[in-house]
Amino acid sequence: MKSIFKCALSLAAVLACCMTLTGCLSHWFVDSSSRLQFLNSTAAKTIVGLDVMQQQDTSAFRTWIDETVLPGERSRVHEEDWVGNFKLRIRYTQSPDGSGKESQFVFDTKLDGGSLFLIVQDEGDSLSVHFR
């Protein structure tokens, strides 16, 4: 009788461990998605979107954030399954109200998953970026 009880208790403990590793709790060990928010820290440029280059076709980008972010504002947090090395493209205008011709700034980055905060700053007529 004791051995059946020990076996059942062991089985219950294994099942309990398996249940704790499902869903969001698995992110304690492996984070397979990236949550990105960015700050438009420019003086007079409006960011109109952020795209990720598709790995299969190096000329095609997939939109990650499609939102207009005025100077001094933050984007909402957007989550996607991006982990690895990527080229990101920031689409922006040279005006504080989002009007005008759209330009782009492309840069390489490594996304490790988890929460990311990108700061976009002026650098002449272009942009510079860094993660915080």
State residue 29's pLDDT score: 56
Distance CA 61, CA 96 (A): 25
> Which residues touch 132 (CB under 8 Å, ≥6 apart)?
117, 118, 119
Selection from 131, 123, 132, 116 nearest residue 45 by Cα:
123
Amino acid at 41: S
Residue-wise pLDDT for 17-47, tens only, equals 766 665 555 555 556 789 999 999 999 999 9
pLDDT exceeds 70 at position 1: no
